[in-house]
């Protein structure tokens, strides 16, 4: 089945540093990639949608300059949390979608980010 690899799975860093999270679709081309944030015991909050050939579309309230998304190719998307602070600590999950609206999204295993 389709596999989405997300790296790193866990990162701890100091406040003020930038952290890059990678999301790769290993055996299919992802025309759309989604980035979600999940707080403990809560739902997935959509941060941004990145479609093939266009810039990421950010959800209301998500800072574009804070959370930089690059959909470099049809198999790779990156989320960079710039100048991270403790309030950015969370579980970040990427998801990739093949072409076609009725396909299920394939999720990465998530990245647990802890900012000290």
Binding interface with other proteins (CB under 8 A): 32, 34, 36, 42-46, 49, 51-52, 54, 57, 91, 93, 95, 97, 101-102, 104-107, 109-110
Report yes or no: 4 and 26 within 8 Å, Cβ to Cβ: yes
| Residue 5 or 82 with smaller CB distance to other proteins | 5
| Residue 84 or 93 with smaller CB distance to other proteins | 93
Query: What is the C-alpha end-to-end distance of the chain, expressed in Å?
Result: 37
Residues contacting residue 104 through CB under 8 Å, at least 6 positions apart: none
| Residue 42 or 83 with smaller CB distance to other proteins | 42
């Amino acid at each position: 089945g389709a596999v989405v690899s997300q790296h790193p799975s866990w990162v701890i860093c100091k406040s003020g540093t930038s952290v890059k999270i990678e999301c790769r679709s290993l055996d299919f081309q992802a025309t759309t990639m989604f980035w979600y944030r999940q707080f403990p015991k809560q739902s997935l909050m959509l941060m941004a949608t990145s479609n093939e050939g266009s810039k990421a579309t950010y959800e209301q309230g998500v800072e574009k300059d804070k959370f930089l998304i690059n959909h470099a190719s049809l198999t790779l998307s990156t989320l960079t949390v710039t100048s991270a602070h403790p309030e950015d600590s969370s579980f970040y999950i990427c998801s990739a979608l093949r072409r076609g609206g009725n396909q299920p999204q394939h999720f990465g295993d998530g990245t647990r980010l802890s900012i000290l």
